[in-house]
Structure 1
Amino acid sequence: MEFLVLEQTPKLFPSYRAAVLRRPNGASLPSRELRLPNVTVDVAHLAQYNRVCGFRLRDELPATYPHVLAFPMALSLMTAADFPFPALGIVHVANEIQVLRPLRSSDAFSLSVRAEALRPHERGRQFDVVATASIADSPVWIGRSTYLRRDSDSTRAVGSTRAVGSAQSSINKSDIFDLPRATAVWRVPRRTGTDYARASGDRNPIHTSRLLARAFGFKSTIAHGMWTKARCLAALEGRLPAKFAVSVQFKLPILLPATVEFAANGGQIAVHDRRTGKPHLTGTIVDHDCADPDEGAR
C-alpha cells in the first residue's frame, strides 16, 4: 500500500472535471491511501450541514459529518487515471459508520481514504471506499461506503431498465413487509437535493438538475442517500449511544419533492414511501460495545 500525504483538502472542481473527461485506465483498485493530517472543523460549515440535515447546533459532530469532510479525498481517488471505473457510472448502495468516540468541533484529527474489496455482484462489481478519522494515530471514526459499478451484461441479465447512474437497488418483498412501524412523517422539499449538495460538495446532477436527472432515468431530482441517513440520525439525536455502529442500505431513490415515513424500532431504522410502503433506506443501529470492533477496519 502506497501512502500519499496531502498538504490540503483536494479541490472538487478538478475531480468533477476528471469525472467527465478522464477515461479509466486501471484493471484493479489503486493500492494507495490518501492521508490528510491536522483536519479542523469550520464551524460555519458545520452549522450549515446541521441545518440541512436536521441536527441541532452543538459542538459534537454528527456521525455522518466526517463523511462529508472525507468526500473530496474519496472523489479524488475515484477520479484518478488509474481508477478502474468511471465515476459517473458508480452507484452508492450502502454505507456503514462506526463512531468509536464522539468527535467535537474543537478536535483536530487526521483523515485517510482508501479503496478496497473489489468483488463480483450479480449486477456488476462492488467495492468499498473506507474513510478513517484518527487522533494520535488511533481511529475514532470509520466510514465504509459500498459502491456498485453496473456492467451492461449483468444489467441485462436482471432485466433492469434504469440508466447507469441510478441509485436504485434491488427490492425484495421482504424489504416492505419487514419494515418497522412508522414513527414520523417527513415532507422532503424539492430544494433538499440542492441544499445538501451545497453543504456536502456532492454535486451529482441527479440531485440538483431536473433536466439531467431525467436524462439518467428519473422523473425528478432525487435526495442524496447520505442526506437520508443523516436525517435518520438527526431524528434520533439524544437517544444514540456515545459509541455506536450504523449500517444502511440505499433502496429506491426519493424523488423530490416527496412525503416519506420514518421508522425506528429496536435498533432498526427505515425510510419508506408513505403511499406505497416501498423502502428508500433500511438499516440497523447497534451499541458499538456489542459490535465487532474490527468490522469497519476490514
Structure 2
Amino acid sequence: MTQTWHDVGHTAGLSGLYLKAASKRKISGDTLPTTGLRCSLSVDERNLAAYRKLCLFSNDGRLPPTYPHVMAFTLQLQLLTDKAFPFPLLGLVHLSNRIRVLRPLGGVSRLRFAVSVDNLQPHEKGATFDLRTDAEDGLGLLWSESSRMLCRGMKLEGEPPVAQAPAELEMSELTRWYADSDIGRHYARVCGDYNPIHLSAATAKLFGFPQAIAHGMWSKAVALAHLRGHLPRSGYEVAVDFHKPVRLPSEVILDGSKEAPSGQFRLSGHGGLVHMSGTWRPVD
C-alpha cells in the first residue's frame, strides 16, 4: 500500500470530532484509507504534569514513554473520524499496543507526528487493523507506536493470522494498586479520551458493560511507571495485549520477571483474572 500524507497546521477540536464519531454507526466500506495525517505538536507542560501525577510517573526530565500517545490522540481521532475511514469509531476494541522508544525522551518540547492505518486482517470476531503513530524531532524518528484495533461485524475473506505466545518467564509480584471508580473520568480530562465505557456505570451499560472500565492505556502507563527501573533510557520496545477489562473500582496486581534486557509482566485482578500481559525487549 502506497502511503500519502496530508499535513495539517493544527489538530481539530475534540468536541467536533466526538460529534462526528457519534453520528457514524455503520461500516461504510472494506478498505482502509491510504492517506495519513501529519502535524507538529508542542508539549503542554501543565498537561504533562497532570499526566505524570495521574499515572504515577516521577519527573526525571524525560517524557513518560506513553505520553507521546497522549499528544497524538486528537490527531489519531481526526484520522479515525474522517469520512474516508470505513469503520465507526464507537465500538472499536483496542486489542494490543506496542511502543518503541528509540532515543531518550529528554529535553523534548515539540514533535512532528505522523498517523496512519494499515494491515487490515480477518479476525474471528470481525476484522483488525493497525493504527500507527510515529514521532520525530530534529534528528529523525524518536518514538513509534502501533495499536491493533478490532472492528466487530466486519467480514473479510481468509483465515485469521495465528499469533504465537512467548514462553512465560517466572514472575513475582512487584506492586498492586487500587483503581478508583472515577479514574476513567480523570484520565479523560487529562488525555481527551471520553469513550463512554470509561466514564460511569450508566454510560458503560449503554455498550454492554455492567460497570465503567479503566482505559487500557492508563493501565499500561501505570505499569510502565512501576517498571521504570527495569527499562533502559532508550532503545527498547514495550508491547502489551489487553485481555479482560479492569472494572472500576477494583484492585490490580502487577507481576514482573527479573530486571534484564528483556522481560515480561502481567496485570491481574483477584482470582487470577488477567487484564493485560506484556513484554519489554531491546530494539536495534
Query: Counterpart of 1:104 in 2: which secondary structure?
Result: coil
* Separation (CA, whole Å) in 1 of partners of 2:55 and 2:170: 23
Alpha carbons 1:116, 1:129 under 8 Å: kept: yes
Match for residue 27 of structure 1 among 30, 33, 39 = 30
Partner of 1:135 in structure 2? 137
For structure 2, which runs of at least 5 residues remain unmatched after alignment?
157-164
Q: Does 1:258 align with 2:261?
A: no
Distance in 2 (alpha carbons) for counterparts of 1:207 and 1:24:
23
Written as runs of structure 1 = structure 2, the 5 A alignment for 1:149-160 is 149-151=151-153
Name which of structure 1's ranges 21-30 and 108-117 shifts more when overlaid on structure 2: 21-30
Shift of the 9–238 alpha-carbon distance from structure 1 to 2, 3 Å rule, reads: farther
Shift of 1:178: 7.4
**Deviations 1:141-189 (CA, angstroms, capped at 9, x unpaired):** 00001100111889xxxxxxxxxxxxxxxxxxx99x9783322121111
Partner SS, residue 263 of structure 1 = strand
CA 8–152 in structure 1, closer or farther in 2 if over 3 Å, else same: closer
Are 2:5 and 1:3 equivalent residues in the alignment? yes
Contact 1:33 1:112 (8 Å CA) reproduced: yes
More helix by share: 1
Match of 1:160 in 2: none
Structure 1 pair 135–106 and aligned structure 2 pair: CA distance change class (3 A): closer
Counterparts of 2:175 and 2:204, CA distance in 1: 28
Change (3 A) 1:137 1:35: farther
Question: Contact (CA 8 Å) 2:11, 2:78: kept in 1 or not?
Answer: no
Which residue number in structure 2 is paired with residue 183 of structure 1?
A: 174
Partner in structure 2 of residue 12 of structure 1: 14
Offset of 1:82 from its aligned partner? 1.5
The C-alpha deviation readout for 1:31-51, integer Å capped at 9, x for no partner, is: 1110012x2211110000111
Please say if residues 24 and 81 of structure 1, whose CA atoms lie closer than 8 Å, have aligned partners that are also in contact: no
**In structure 2, how many angstroms separate the alpha carbons of the residues matched to 1:137 and 1:78?**
29
TM-score, L = length of structure 2 = 0.88
How far has the Cα of 1:260 moved from its partner?
1.1
More deviation, 24-33/61-70: 24-33
Please, what TM-score do these two structures have when normalized by structure 1? 0.84
Q: Paired residue for 1:249? A: 241
How far apart, CA to CA, are the structure 2 residues paired with 1:209 and 1:65?
24
SS at match of 1:118: strand
Identify the residue that residue 93 of structure 1 maps to in structure 2. Answer: 95
Q: 1:24 to 1:83 in 2, by over 3 A?
A: farther
- Of the three residues 200, 203, 211, the one matched with 2:194 is 203
Residue identity (%): 37
Q: How far has the Cα of 1:6 moved from its partner? A: 0.8
Provide the aligned C-alpha RMSD in A. 2.0
Q: Which runs of 4+ in 1 moved over 6 A?
A: none
- For the residues of structure 1 that align with 2:215 and 2:12, how far apart are their CA atoms? 21
Residue 272 of structure 1: aligned partner: 268
Query: What residue in structure 1 maps to residue 146 of structure 2?
Result: 144
CA distance in 2, matches of 1:222, 1:185: 17
Equivalent-residue separation in structure 2 for 1:81 and 1:119 (angstroms): 21
SS, match of residue 220 in structure 1: coil
* Alpha-carbon distance, 1:61 to partner: 0.3
Aligned length: 267
Confirm or deny: 8 A CA contact 1:95 1:143 kept in the other structure.
Answer: yes
Task: Give unpaired runs (5+ residues) of structure 1.
Answer: 155-173, 290-298
**Equivalent-residue separation in structure 1 for 2:174 and 2:243 (angstroms):** 19
